Amino acid sequence: MTQVLAHGVKLTDFAVSKVRSLLEAEGRDDLRLRVSVQPGGCSGLIYQLFFDEQLEEIDAIVSFDGVEVVVDPMSVPYLDGASIDFEDTIQKQGFTIDNPNADGSCACGDSFS
């Protein structure tokens, strides 16, 4: 029996709506939003968000109104309590991550420590 692990990442309603519309535009129903943390960037760690068709037994999964968000086990502690939103303003368009575990971030906001 496979154990399904959960994670503490949250998706705002607007982010769920945006992810759903992007998945519909792809025309595929086998994709999930994968969120991970990788070494890199000017502050040491960088976020990665992408659609993934692969699902490993050790991945943590949470569904938000039918939108599945997958986090690998190494990234779970770095992302616990993080909230993902989508901004659509004249100044910025894209996903944003508010992470209470980040001690500091770079000026561009793409990496954290």
pTM for the full predicted model: 0.82
The predicted-structure confidence for 30-89, as pLDDT tens digits, reads as follows: 999 999 998 876 657 888 999 999 999 899 999 999 999 999 999 999 999 999 999 988
Tell me which residue of 5, 7, 9, 6 sits closest to 100, measured CA to CA. Answer: 9
Amino acid at 4: V
Q: pLDDT band at 92, cuts 50/70/90?
A: confident
Which DSSP category does 3 fall into?
Answer: P
* Residue 102 near residue 112 (C-beta atoms within 8 A): yes
Buried b (16+ CB within 10 A) or exposed e, 4-39: eeebbbbbeeebbebbeeebeeeeeeebbbbbbbee
Tell me which residue of 25, 3, 11, 8 sits closest to 86, measured CA to CA. Answer: 11
Residue 84 in 3-state DSSP? strand
